[in-house]
């Protein structure tokens, strides 16, 4: 991880700006949402028509692209793993994460629409609150919890009293 952080800090501002384009799909959800809400397969369902393919496609992209990303970030265990900043393919990594962010933004639109159709009018105001709490709890468990489990001292104290 230290190698990755030092490599990223050595990247040019231009490369960092290119990588920042990954977040655009979430910024452009307002333009994409009407399409997600209006196009669907009636027999499959308005939301499932988007959620199932998005989840499958994201899974395939993560599974089949994981070696590429590991190699680019210098995390791979192979001899060909590159730690040289000059060899970093910023456009390829940006395209990889842009596709994932686009799929996750699409999923976010479909889930938000699903929540609006499932919740009663009285509870619709609580939906975004529950969504926000769930996302923050997920971030906490994914980052802080994962770090605690990877720390030998913390793991020994928590799991082996």
Distance CA 23, CA 102 (A): 9
* Spatial CB neighbours of 122, under 8 Å, sequence gap ≥ 6: none
Distance CA 156, CA 149 (A): 9
- Computed over every residue of the chain, the mean pLDDT equals 83
pLDDT digits (tens, 9 = 90+) for 43-96: 998 999 999 999 999 999 999 998 888 888 777 665 554 456 667 788 889 999
The alpha carbon dihedral of 19, 25, 111, 47 has a sign of negative
Distance CA 5, CA 8 (A): 5
Distance CA 130, CA 136 (A): 10
pLDDT of residue 78: 55
Range with top average pLDDT, 6-15, 24-33, 82-91: 24-33
Whose tokens are 């479909």? That residue is: 110
- Using a cut of 0.85, tell me whether the model's pTM lies above it: no
Distance CA 138, CA 143 (A): 8
119 φ, ψ (degrees, to nearest 5): -80, 145
CB-based contact 102:27 (threshold 8 Å): no
């Amino acid at each position: 991880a230290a190698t990755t952080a030092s490599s990223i800090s050595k990247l040019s501002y231009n490369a960092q700006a290119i990588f920042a384009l990954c977040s655009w799909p979430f910024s452009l959800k307002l333009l994409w949402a009407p399409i997600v809400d209006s196009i669907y397969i009636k027999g499959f369902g308005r939301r499932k028509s988007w959620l199932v393919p998005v989840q499958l496609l994201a899974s395939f992209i993560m599974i089949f692209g994981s070696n590429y990303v590991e190699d680019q970030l210098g995390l791979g265990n192979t001899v060909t793993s590159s730690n040289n900043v000059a060899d970093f393919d910023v456009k390829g990594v940006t395209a990889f994460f842009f596709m994932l962010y686009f799929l996750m933004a699409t999923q976010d639109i479909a889930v938000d629409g699903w929540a609006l159709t499932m919740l009663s009018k009285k509870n619709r105001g609580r939906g975004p609150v529950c969504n926000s709490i769930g996302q923050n709890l997920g971030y906490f468990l994914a980052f802080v919890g994962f770090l605690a489990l990877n720390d030998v001292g913390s793991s020994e104290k928590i799991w082996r009293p």
